[in-house]
A and B are shown apart, each in its own frame.
Chain A
Amino acid sequence: MTIIPLDRAHTPNGANGSRPVLEARGLTKHFPVHAHRGAGQAVVHAVEDVTLTLPRAGITAIVGESGSGKSTLARLLAQLIKPTAGSVLLDGAATPGRQQYARQVQLVLQDPFSSLNPVHNIRYHLARPLQVHGLASRGTLDAQIAELLERVALTPADQFAAKYPHELSGGQRQRVAIARALATRPRVLLADEPVSMLDVSIRLGVLNLLADLREREGLAILYVTHDIASARYLADVIAVMYAGQIIESGPAAQVTDAPAHPYTQLLLSAAPDPDRAQPPSLRGRGAPPNLIRPPSGCRFHPRCPFAMAVCAEERPTATAVALGHASACWLHATGLTTAQSRPLRKPPQEIHGPQGPGEEKQ
């Protein structure tokens, strides 16, 4: 069994296998909090040692529940906050200055109702990045704005440019937010839950727009979401986060069809799925841990139905379970001693399906 870093897992699938545009190496973010019952200077371990690559013309999805650190990761990658440790590399080099970086890497936020300024029209929103980055000349500004609106399928462009945010629907607002991000001709788009505030019937339109931008303009896209079904639909690669760490990553269809990590299995067993023949049975209960004092070893072990002695002691490393598919779980490791692999608690009654974790690895 070879041990490969999670980032390498992406290469076989990353659209064309080229050099990544954006790369995170060992990114860690701890947020200081006020002393917690005499604990001194406590920190929230929001993101821990995350390594990730975004290839050109590739869509990588980060899937996780609230509090898993997925939005913090997006903000770290946008360099809105400074990492406690680790680094972000653009084209393999340390990142350039703030403005240079922002030109290349743009962030789209979740809520299009608050990310646009209600007192300015759409034209203003799109003109600002062009002016700030010195990309606009007076003569061509209108043409540039029209072109931006056309790229996100808001036509007729001159009508939309004159409107104010309150005159647009949620989906149209989110398209404006995406157009604003595209104004600087970035190569990386970080989309933090871009559709979760939108009505169901228009979500796919925005997702298809992202897929389109990847195709047409070769954007590297990070799609942050809690909805694993939409990640499967849109992304090439899915990375699942739990309690600040990436615990599984691999080709999107493979992660959802043959999940290797018990947490991914839990997530999938809980997702709404009308095709299910039987009522789902949850694989593991409870809630994510307190990240001020995260659990020792594997952060999922207190909830994991398959936890072993070793899980409480040592953090599992990412292990390849298939080509390009890695899971950070001791169940996939070989050569554990009997003491290490002793179950932590009584095995769960076999109420769920026959296939346990790790069966697919052979």
Chain B
Amino acid sequence: MSGATSSAPSSVVGGVVNADPDVLIEVRGLCVDYGLGDDAVHAVVEADLELRRGEVLGLAGESGSGKSTLAYAITRLLRSPGVITAGSARFAGSVNLLSAGQRELRGLRWNEIAVVLQSSMNALNPVLSIGTQFSDVLRAHRPGMSRADRQARSAELLEMVGIPADRLSSYPHELSGGMRQRVMIATALALDPSVVIMDEPTTALDVVTQREILEELMALRNRLGFAVLFISHDLSLLAEIADSIAVMYAGRLVERAGASAIFRAPRHPYSLGLLSSFPALHGPRRAMEGIPGSPPDLRNMPSGCPFHPRCGYALDRCRSDPPPLLELDAGARAAACWLQDGRVAVPAELARPAAAPPAAVPPAAVPPAAVPPAAVPPAAAAPEAEPTGGRS
């Protein structure tokens, strides 16, 4: 492994480790290439990620940012020419998913780690009824189960996601897109996994259906306590549903923080640009710029920070040295940006206080309709503790 930037991987090298029992998946220094040798495209570079028990971790990024590749790598679903070249991904502090054998993986897949893919149309078998597909999962992973038990569990699963049990005899083409996606979620939950990885699960759906499914998903999460790695390009959606968010750009993790901290106080210029690419539903209409240029070609990456050609704040240093993921706020968040290493003055947009609501007006000017003052903590003590609703 060539990564010389952080000392973190060494602490997990030998066998069973330090391990916070709350950390379900711990990814360290993950590198994934497509192709071999000099032609290899570095799709994921030195990614560090932690998924905690019961949390919803949003993984945001545009197409080609490596977010799906990362998920495929840690579930070992990566297909050739994808190659994992370095790193580790511990499940529950012990098994390294990246080096586990097929038998070990088979024990973990679906039982502990389930996957929901974007295109439910392609994921469901068109010539088998929904019920058959449920029982196939149960028969393969729960050999002891009787036929009647399988049937009962299938019905229960379907009702769990809000579909009447009599649809078990339906075929995928008889269901709407939203229902098929619900079926996918139900199959993923069939064996009570502790982690569900969702790759753009609602992107192909209409907003109303998307919202219904997200509501159900969050209710199920609260009831069953599984953790979710939610991959999406839609940062405004993630800000609403996730507990914490990691932002990827050109294969690198560029920022990681609590969901509201990223939304209210981004520290990386790319996160800031991404957030100002979503027009708001309220307030005055104002011209927005988005991010100039387009994401880099992974075969022809810029030197230094991959974002510097599009970055309005780029320093000379950004052109030559790739920034490491710097821990900020005592490790509560991290950003890969030279602006944040304390040597230069940080622009105001990238140094907003995370705890206070955006109304940075003096107390006298607070409009009457604003939040009751008691709800606003006086200091920036706990950046992720503010009442932002929508999660528990």
Contacts and interface: CB of A to CB of B under 8 A. Distances in A.
B92 to A, nearest CB: 30
Given A276-B240, A276-B390, A287-B209, A201 B281 contact: no
Nearest to B259: A274
B234 interface: yes
Nearest to A65: B206
Interface in B276-296: 277-282, 285, 287-292, 294-295
A135 interface: no
Contact of A65 (B207, B236, B237, B289): B207
B272 to A, nearest CB: 11
Contacts of B389: 276-279
Interface in B223-282: 233-237, 239-240, 263, 273-274, 277-282
B390 A171 contact: no
B303 interface: no
B13 interface: no
A257 interface: yes
B237 to A, nearest CB: 4
B360 interface: no
B315 to A, nearest CB: 21
A277 B260 CA distance: 11
Interface stretch (B27-35, B48-56, B210-218, B328-336): B210-218
B192 interface: no
B294 A199 contact: yes
Contacts of B263: 274
Given A230-B279, A232-B281, A267-B207, A272 B237 contact: yes
A274 B176 CA distance: 28
A233 B284 CA distance: 10
B215 A201 contact: no
Interface of chain B, main secondary structure: loop
Contacts of B239: 274
Nearest to B278: A229
Interface string A253-296: 10011000000001111111111111110100101000000000
Interface string B41-82: 000000000000000000000110000000000000000000
Given A65-B206, A200-B62, A275 B282 contact: yes
Interface in A198-233: 199-205, 208, 226, 228-230, 232-233
Interface residues on B, range: 35 or more
B233 A268 contact: no
B240 A273 contact: yes
Contacts of A253: 285
Given A201-B62, A202-B294, A274-B239, A266 B289 contact: no
A29 B206 CA distance: 23
A317 to B, nearest CB: 25
Given A270-B211, A272-B240, A279-B390, A229 B178 contact: no
Nearest to B211: A270
A257 B274 contact: no
A230 B278 CA distance: 8
Given A172-B294, A280-B211, A287-B178, A271 B233 contact: no
B207 A199 contact: no
B371 interface: yes
Nearest to A280: B211
B348 interface: no
Contacts of B206: 65-66, 226
A256 to B, nearest CB: 6
Interface of chain A, main secondary structure: helix
B379 interface: no
Given A200-B278, A204-B288, A169 B294 contact: yes
A275 B282 CA distance: 9
Interface in B13-36: none
Interface residues of A, number: 42
Nearest to A279: B390
A272 B211 CA distance: 8
B212 A226 contact: no
A168 to B, nearest CB: 9
Nearest to A283: B208
B361 to A, nearest CB: 16
Nearest to B283: A275
A204 B63 CA distance: 16
Determine which residue in B208, B211, B282 has the highest number of CB atoms from chain A within 10 A of its CB, and name it.
B208
B260 to A, nearest CB: 8
Contact of A204 (B178, B208, B290): B290
Nearest to A252: B285
B277 A204 contact: yes
A275 B294 contact: no
Interface string B180-192: 0000000000000
A274 B236 contact: yes
Nearest to B204: A66
A279 B236 CA distance: 14
B240 A277 contact: no
A60 to B, nearest CB: 16
A7 to B, nearest CB: 24
B176 A205 contact: no
A275 B240 CA distance: 8
A65 B62 contact: no
B215 A282 contact: yes
Nearest to A204: B290
Contacts of B294: 169-172, 199, 201-202
Contact of B240 (A202, A274, A285): A274
B277 A200 contact: yes
Contacts of B279: 204, 229-230, 232-233
Given A199-B63, A226-B207, A228-B281, A273 B290 contact: no
25 contacts: A65-B206, A199-B63, A200-B233, A201-B291, A201-B295, A208-B287, A208-B288, A226-B207, A228-B281, A232-B281, A252-B285, A256-B281, A267-B207, A267-B208, A269-B211, A270-B208, A270-B210, A273-B240, A273-B282, A274-B236, A274-B239, A276-B240, A276-B389, A278-B389, A285-B212
